[in-house]
Amino acid sequence: MALIRPTRRLENQLSREHGYGVILGVDEVGVAPSCGPVVAAAVAMPPERRFITGVRDSKTLTAQQRERLARAILRQATRVGIGAASVREIDRLNIYYATVLAMKRAVARAGDHDFVIVDGRRIRGFEETCGPYRAVIDGDARCYAVACASIVAKVTRDRLMRRLAARYPGYGWEHNAGYATLDHRHGLAEHGITPHHRRSFITVRRVEFGEQLELLAPATA
């Protein structure tokens, strides 16, 4: 299947029809992992500059490609904001509302803007906090600014997970980024739950529940 190449079609239309200047693309990463924060990025790219070759949905890129592209994006971007929601917030709010919170924080930290393009579906109450916006399904594959945001968010979170891996070895976070891969599950079984695990997630709850069962099991002679 051919890769979808992001374009500035929507950004150009918004500028032409509504006069918007600074248009932020927003994307998040870290919804599915069983540990670590959810991270969002908001990025505005200068319309007069050429496309950065290779920019597309971060999921289709290698780690080395993302690192290289993130550096180029940060050099060229006119606005950049990073937002996150902690494990505690994920467990308290649930992952959906924590993700929205991370995106709102990213937009706030990006500073003044005229419009926001968000990857995904419409978000109730988002406009009241972030101003006028449009939600685009597969926006990280279709919209240039959102694709740039997806790369910055992914690189930021992966770097964080590598730092946490150095403090909590044995879970493979340096390469699995906290997803429930086989080596991560083995780490949970062997080393237990860390403060960075999402206790509201089923993979972690199974470990916690299993440990409780062991404690409640009757002693044998």
E strands, the chain, are 23-29, 38-44, 79-85, 115-119, 133-136
Domains and CATH numbers, the chain: 9-169 (3.30.420.10)
What is this structure's pTM?
Answer: 0.92
Characterise 23 by phi-psi region: left (phi > 0), alpha (psi -120 to 50), beta (else): beta
Helix, strand, coil percentages, rounded to 5, for the chain: 50, 15, 35
C-beta of residue 44 within 8 angstroms of C-beta of residue 79? yes
Q: Hey, how many other C-beta atoms are within 10 angstroms of the C-beta on 77?
A: 23
Q: What is the pLDDT along the chain (221 residues), one digit of tens a residue?
A: 567 889 999 999 999 999 999 999 999 999 999 999 999 999 999 999 999 999 999 999 999 999 999 999 999 999 999 999 999 999 999 999 999 999 999 999 999 999 999 999 999 999 999 999 999 999 999 999 999 999 999 999 999 999 999 999 999 999 999 999 999 999 998 999 999 999 999 889 888 776 543 433 444 43
Strand partners, 40: 28, 83
d(CA 18, CA 35): 41
Per-residue pLDDT, 17: 96
Of 2, 15, 26, nearest to 147 (Cα)?
A: 26
